């Protein structure tokens, strides 16, 4: 479908920088102009398809910088495909995802990227890009990093956790960081001391501690803080920037804040599960806790205040979902009797914009900060701004009409993710997506899905725009 010439009239246009009552003109899939509502300029836009946004917010489509569609992990595969997951993302007001291609040990980055490009090809309802998971650092891999940066895969996830799977030792991490310091790449770190955690896992299981809640206990907050500290020091030695993914422990936030106070190019992401859920969920009876097993793990409720504070002070810049769903029945239950066999990951790609809007309603963050952490900052972090993440002339017309007054209750019975439970079941939200445009083409129209698999385009990225 070609994008119709469209005017969105009468809404409150909210970006990370501004809030204005304005009309938005869309032509050829891009934002053509923005003019004050009722102005002669806006009145002159006739002969268009009109979307009435009176009483609504007009916001940039969400940019989810951390998803794992159909990821093979923990002996199974994440239950959302690129088709189902991007459709659900659109339902939740997200118009771009950055997913993770995986380098298998003994293979090239290129072969991993090609495999993921193939999986996503012609499947996505919204635009998508890739980070690269580096699991095998060697001379060839390092050379390939340069090529990938040139081609628009400008960020590389490495793991201090999961020995024997994705884990890299400090020497490998240092070498990749040194390479990134020369080629403009951004190293994204899963910062948990996986070697120590594996010892604690074995000790817990030997002591008969097999329930899901022990997943949270063995993945100690101090082992997240220690790894975060070490990653920061390694990045300093290498002279490279660092982005720490899925930060959950208050002690890890403190490490990031201290580094940033020294002016270091260190960035952090947290996720809705750490802001809204806690070890109380992991301790739910009857194996229900398995629904909440992810890594880094959910923390005691006290950690949430530090995460919200970090988002307000910009010590954390981004909220991504780390969407990695596994069905309770048939996947999470692989870990009955042994928490270490529960596949790690939570669903959430559909819920992020709403949960963060709820935080606006509750006064935790401002409306503009909502758009910053969910749209503009991830777009900048991953080299997609201002094409994505804002509403400005020339930007892709990825636009959401958001009703800030609608009431909804999150439930697996009504969500669109391909997973048999919701981590937020029964949670009341004020605010709801009404209409979603992707490059000017309707994907969600008045709460109906009108998109199609294959509309979404692969989007090569520039380098991190937080670096001078």
Q: Which two tokens stand for residue 341?
A: 């066999």
Residue placing its CB nearer to Zn ion in the complex, 80 or 322: 322
Category of 411 on φ-ψ map: left (φ > 0), alpha (ψ -120 to 50) or beta: beta
Q: Is the Cβ of residue 68 or residue 179 nearer to ligand URP in the bound state?
A: 68
Residues between 223 and 262 that touch ligand URP (CB under 6 A): 246
Interface of this chain with ligand URP, residues 306 to 325, rule: CB under 6 A: 322, 324
Per rule CB under 5 A, is residue 322 in the interface with Zn ion?
A: yes
295 binds ligand URP (CB under 6 A): yes
Nearest to 239 by CA among 179, 188, 169: 179
Question: Cβ of residue 345: shortest distance to ligand URP, in angstroms?
Answer: 4
Q: Which stretch binds Zn ion (CB under 5 A): 125-133, 148-156, 193-201, 319-327?
A: 319-327
Cα–Cα distance for residue pair 29/401, rounded to 1 Å: 16
Residues that contact ligand URP, how many (by CB under 6 A): 9
CB of 295 to ligand URP, least distance (A): 4
Work out whether 192 is an interface residue with ligand URP (CB under 6 A).
Answer: no
Residue span 137-176 as binding mask against ligand URP, x where in contact by CB under 6 A, dash where not: ----------------------------------------
- Which of 68/455 has CB closer to ligand URP? 68
How far apart are alpha carbons 91 and 340 in whole angstroms?
33
Nearer to ligand URP, 12 or 318 (CB): 318
**Residue 60 in contact with ligand URP, rule: CB under 6 A:** no
Alpha helices in 152-270 (DSSP H): 170-183, 194-206, 213-218, 221-238, 250-261
Q: Least CB distance from residue 22 to Zn ion, whole Å?
A: 11
Angle (CA) 397 403 407, round 5° = 145
CA 318 – CA 67 distance, rounded (Å): 13
> Minimum Å distance from CB 207 to Zn ion?
27
Q: Minimum distance from CB of 186 to ligand URP (Å)?
A: 16
> 345 touches which of Zn ion, ligand URP, none (CB within 5 to 8 A by kind)?
ligand URP
Stretch that binds Zn ion, among 35-43, 183-191, 356-364, 371-379 (CB under 5 A): 183-191
The distance of closest approach from Cβ of residue 133 to ligand URP in the complex, given in angstroms and rounded to an integer, is 9
Cβ of residue 98: shortest distance to Zn ion, in angstroms?
Answer: 11
Give the CA dihedral 268, 269, 270, 272, nearest 10 degrees.
160
We find the least distance from the C-beta atom of residue 375 to Zn ion, in angstroms, to be 20
Q: Is 309 helix (H, G, I), strand (E, B) or coil?
A: helix
Per-residue mark of binding to ligand URP, 66-95 (x: CB under 6 A): --x---------------------------
3 vs 78 by CB, closer to Zn ion: 78
Nearest distance from C-beta of residue 21 to ligand URP, angstroms: 40
Smaller CB distance to Zn ion: residue 64 or 322? Answer: 322
Closest Cα partner for 156 from 274, 254, 238, 257? 238
Q: What residues have CB less than 8 Å from 199, skipping those under 6 apart?
A: none
Among 101, 134, 186, 294, binds ligand URP (CB under 6 A): 294
Residue among 224 and 322 whose Cβ is closer to Zn ion: 322
Write out the H or E segment, with its range, that includes residue 369.
helix 367-371
Of 317, 176, 194, 193, nearest in space to 237 by CA: 176
Q: Taking CB within 5 to 8 Å according to partner kind, which of ligand URP, Zn ion, none is near residue 219?
A: none
Asked if 123 contacts 453 with a C-beta cutoff of 8 angstroms, the reply is yes
Long-range Cβ contact pairs of 148-153 (< 8 A, separation 24 or more): 148/109, 148/110, 148/113, 148/185, 149/183, 149/184, 149/185, 149/463, 151/460, 152/383, 152/459, 152/460, 152/461, 152/462, 153/101, 153/113, 153/129, 153/460, 153/461
Burial of 394 (0-12, 13-18, 19+ CB in 10 A): exposed
Residues 6+ apart with CB under 8 A from 211: 287, 289, 339
The residue from 194, 272, 335, 345 that contacts ligand URP (CB under 6 A) is: 345
β-sheet bridge partners, residue 404 = none
- Please, which residues have CB within 8 angstroms of residue 83's CB and are 6 or more apart in sequence? 123, 124, 125, 453
Q: Please work out, in degrees rounded to the nearest 5, the angle formed at the alpha carbon of residue 63 by the alpha carbons of 392 and 467.
A: 75
Looking only at residues 24 through 83 of this chain, which bind Zn ion when binding is defined by CB under 5 A? none
Q: Establish if 190 lies at the interface with ligand URP (CB under 6 A).
A: yes
Decide which of ligand URP, Zn ion, none touches 364; Cβ closer than 5 to 8 Å per partner kind. none
The binding site for Zn ion (CB under 5 A) comprises: 190, 322
In the complex, the residues that contact ligand URP under the rule CB under 6 A are: 68, 190, 246, 294-295, 322, 324, 344-345
């Amino acid at each position: 479908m070609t994008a119709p010439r469209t005017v969105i009239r009468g809404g409150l246009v909210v970006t990370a920088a501004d809030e204005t009552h304005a009309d938005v003109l869309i032509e050829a899939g891009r934002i053509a102009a923005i003019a004050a509502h009722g102005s002669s300029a806006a009145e002159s836009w006739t002969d268009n398809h009109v979307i009435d946004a009176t009483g609504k917010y007009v916001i940039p489509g969400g940019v989810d910088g951390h998803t794992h569609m159909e990821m093979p992990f923990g002996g199974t595969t994440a239950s959302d495909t690129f088709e189902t997951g991007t459709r659900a993302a659109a339902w939740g007001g997200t118009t771009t995802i950055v997913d993770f291609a995986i380098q298998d040990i003994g293979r090239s980055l290129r072969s991993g990227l090609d495999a993921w490009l193939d999986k996503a090809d012609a499947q996505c309802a919204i635009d998508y890009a890739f980070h690269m998971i580096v699991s095998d650092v060697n001379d060839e891999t390092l050379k390939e990093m340069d090529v990938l940066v040139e081609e628009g895969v400008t960020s590389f996830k490495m793991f201090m956790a999961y020995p024997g799977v994705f884990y890299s030792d400090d020497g490998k991490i240092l070498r990749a960081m040194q390479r990134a310091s020369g080629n403009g790449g951004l190293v994204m770190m899963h910062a948990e001391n996986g070697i120590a955690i594996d010892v604690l896992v074995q000790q817990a299981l030997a002591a008969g501690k097999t329930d899901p809640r022990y997943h949270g206990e063995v993945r100690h907050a101090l082992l997240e803080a220690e790894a975060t500290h070490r990653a920061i020091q390694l990045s300093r030695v290498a002279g490279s920037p660092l982005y720490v993914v899925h930060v959950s422990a208050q002690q890890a936030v403190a490490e990031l804040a201290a580094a940033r106070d020294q002016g270091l190019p260190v960035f952090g992401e947290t996720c809705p599960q750490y802001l809204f859920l806690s070890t109380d969920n992991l301790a739910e009876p009857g194996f229900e806790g398995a629904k909440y097993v992810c890594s880094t793990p959910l923390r005691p409720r006290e950690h949430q205040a530090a995460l919200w504070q970090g988002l307000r002070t910009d010590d954390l810049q981004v909220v991504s979902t780390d969407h990695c769903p596994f069905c309770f029945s048939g996947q999470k239950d692989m870990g009955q009797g042994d928490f270490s066999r529960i596949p790690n990951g939570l669903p959430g790609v559909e819920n992020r914009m709403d949960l963060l809007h709820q935080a606006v309603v509750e006064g935790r963050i401002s409306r503009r900060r909502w758009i910053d952490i969910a749209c503009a900052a991830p777009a900048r972090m991953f080299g997609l701004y201002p094409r994505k993440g804002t509403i400005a002339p020339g930007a892709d017309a990825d636009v959401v009409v958001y009703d800030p007054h609608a009431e909804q209750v999150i439930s697996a019975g009504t969500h669109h993710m391909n997973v048999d439970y919701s981590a937020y079941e029964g949670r009341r939200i004020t605010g709801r997506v009404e209409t979603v445009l992707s490059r000017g083409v309707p994907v969600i129209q008045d709460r109906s899905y009108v998109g199609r698999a294959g509309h979404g385009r692969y989007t090569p990225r520039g380098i991190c725009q937080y670096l001078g």
